[in-house]
Structure 1
Amino acid sequence: MSTLTSSVDGKSDHAPEPRPRFADLLAAEWIKMRSLRSTYWVLALSALAAIVINVNAVHNDLAYIDGQHPVAAGLPPFRYDPLWHGLNKIAADLMGLAAAAFGAITVFGEFATGMIRTTFAAVPDRRAVITAKVAMVTTITIVLGAIVSTASFFLTNAMLASRHLGLSIHDRGCTRAVAAYALIAPVCALLGMAFGAVLRHATASITGVVGMLFLLPMLFGGDRYKLLKEIGDYLPLQAASRLTLNPAFHISLGKYPATISGSWIALAAWSLASVIVAVVVVRRRDV
């Protein structure tokens, strides 16, 4: 005797399970990320270290600022650039590396443990899953970058105020510099996600993103070849560095200088390309 599985009107007694809302996917990604203590410890410590590096750099400069600086023949008088020292490259590189590692591990971590199969079994829409992951990683790293950038700017310029060298956020180029410095974290995190999606291996992903951010620019230096120089100028960290320069101090930027608008476009393009790569690869490749 067969079991009845339909109602009188011919429709199934069991209503189809509703599709998860995007907010639910964001909540699930947040739970995954915060459940790994190493994740937020790495982000918190890297943010603190970046701020300390910037503050310490300016603190060490105070003795030099207070010293005597005789003007040598043919050389311009001493001028101190608060932006270059207060938002320095060492701290930016550290923040970018930590964010890239964070972005990569959010992708390759699930593939390495096999958890991605459970995720896709619960939510077959892979594009929605990876989009939620991208949104959560971007949000977290934007907050990280904003904390580092604003804290570094205001702390270092407060230290320099007693020497009458501090800048205001309303001074020319300062808002742009703070915003660009903050965007280093999300841009690098999205690059890390792209490498994690393509390579799906911890060592390979971290090595790849380090090579992209720090080794590849070495091939595009100098002013001899215009095309190579222009490519180098619009790599992620180089584009951000161009935007953090103080316009009052860097009048000459070399033979083939990067433009402000081009640098903003470069950061947006790297971010968009990274998102597309991550979404397409995760959606089409087997788990």
Structure 2
Amino acid sequence: MTATAPARHLPPPAAPALFRHLLRSEWIKLWSLRSTPGVLGVGGVVVTGICVNAARSNADRLDRGPIPGAGAGTASEPAPALFAFDVLGTAFVDPAWQLLMVLAACLGAAALSGEYATGLARTTFAAVPDRRSVVAAKAVVVTAVLLVFGACVALTSFAATQALLRDHGGLSLSDPGAARAVVASALLAPVCGLAGMAAGAVVRHAAGAAVAVIGVLLLLPALFQGDTYRWVRETGHLLPLDAWETLVRDPALPVVEKYPAGVAEAWAVLGGWGVAGLAVAVAVVRHRDV
């Protein structure tokens, strides 16, 4: 008589990962990077500081009044302004917000390229074969973090600079163009972050992805300046930096550009870059081997 082996009960199959589990996982991954809080914290202070310094400098120059010996003009020909001054633009100085674009794009690139560099992508996709869900969760987390970051920097910069310029035409959010400029500046960070994710998916190397996305976001627009050829300038309007500059422009100031972009076109370009960045990241990750 042979003894029968006792029946072995197999453990129940693990439940598939839900999207909220992916969101939590991507949140932990992002904040486990030691550079994340430092880059966002220091970067936000630097961006705001550049704009505040510009506002303080302009306020000091305006407080000093006309240049001695410049003349006060005549009744028929008033004295020229001390210097060209854009009150709204002081809160959104180009070099400062270009730095914000770099920080956001690099963070987005590192969020995806870092997994390939460390080999974590193999483990992630083995646990969750649906790569689209993984990239979507990563995009949601990156977008949410950078949106809060961009909104905080935009509101702080606007409030601080306009407080310094309160005696020289400082604006409030209810003034024409002010709210639009703040919203556009807040959205600029997540848009650049999604563009960085696309670069990270294509290049799969942190440094290479950062260089690629910075070249597209900041260096490429320099090739499409000037009003000599209309198609060149209109091509430049399709880039996020140009769209942001259109949206933060004070509507009370005259437009000196020969081929200006419209506000609706600028909003479409800004949103289109975010959607395109996500689409490229999903398509590349889905069809390329780890």
Paired amino acid for 1:283: R
Please say if 1:245 is aligned against 2:242: no
Q: State which of 234, 247, 270 in structure 1 corresponds to 2:273.
A: 270
Q: Work out the CA distance in 1 between the residues paired with 2:150 and 2:22.
A: 24
Deviations along 1:126-156, whole A, 9 cap, x unmatched? 1100100000000000011000000000111
Paired amino acid for 1:222: G
Deviations along 1:179-206, whole A, 9 cap, x unmatched? 0111111111111100000010122211
The share of aligned pairs that are identical, in percent, is 44
Q: Work out the CA distance in 2 between the residues paired with 1:23 and 1:145.
A: 24
Structure 1 gap segments, 5+ residues each:
7-12
Q: State which of 7, 20, 24 in structure 1 corresponds to 2:21.
A: 24
Q: State which of 167, 171, 178 in structure 1 corresponds to 2:171.
A: 167
Q: What is the correspondence of 1:27-176 to structure 2 with a 5 Å cutoff?
A: 27-69=24-66, 77-78=81-82, 80-161=85-166, 163-176=167-180
The residue number in structure 2 matching 1:197 is: 201
Shift of 1:63: 1.5
The residue number in structure 2 matching 1:207 is: 211
Paired amino acid for 2:175: D
Q: Work out the CA distance in 2 between the residues paired with 1:71 and 1:16.
A: 85
Q: Work out the CA distance in 1 between the residues paired with 2:233 and 2:85.
A: 27
Normalised by the size of structure 1, how large is the TM-score? 0.92
Shift of 1:227: 1.1
Shift of 1:234: 2.2
RMSD value, Cα: 1.9
Q: Work out the CA distance in 2 between the residues paired with 1:91 and 1:178.
A: 14
Q: Work out the CA distance in 2 between the residues paired with 1:3 and 1:197.
A: 50
Q: What is the correspondence of 1:220-231 to structure 2 with a 5 Å cutoff?
A: 220-231=224-235
CA contact (8 A) 1:54 1:88 kept: yes
Shift of 1:74: 9.0
Shift of 1:2: 8.1
Paired amino acid for 1:127: R
Distance 1:22 1:82, change over 3 A: same
Shift of 1:216: 0.7
Normalised by the size of structure 2, how large is the TM-score? 0.91
Q: State which of 230, 234, 253 in structure 1 corresponds to 2:238.
A: 234
Larger CA deviation: 88-97 vs 70-79:
70-79
Q: State which of 186, 189, 202 in structure 2 corresponds to 1:185.
A: 189
Shift of 1:14: 4.8
Q: Work out the CA distance in 2 between the residues paired with 1:29 and 1:40.
A: 15
Distance 1:77 1:224, change over 3 A: same
Paired amino acid for 1:176: R
Equivalent pairs counted in the alignment come to 279
Shift of 1:50: 0.5
Q: Secondary structure at the match of 1:234?
A: coil
Shift of 1:68: 2.6
Q: Work out the CA distance in 1 between the residues paired with 2:194 and 2:242.
A: 16
CA contact (8 A) 1:233 1:258 kept: yes
Q: Work out the CA distance in 1 between the residues paired with 2:256 and 2:119.
A: 49
Q: Work out the CA distance in 1 between the residues paired with 2:193 and 2:72.
A: 45
Paired amino acid for 2:144: T
Q: Work out the CA distance in 2 between the residues paired with 1:235 and 1:75.
A: 39
Shift of 1:75: 7.9
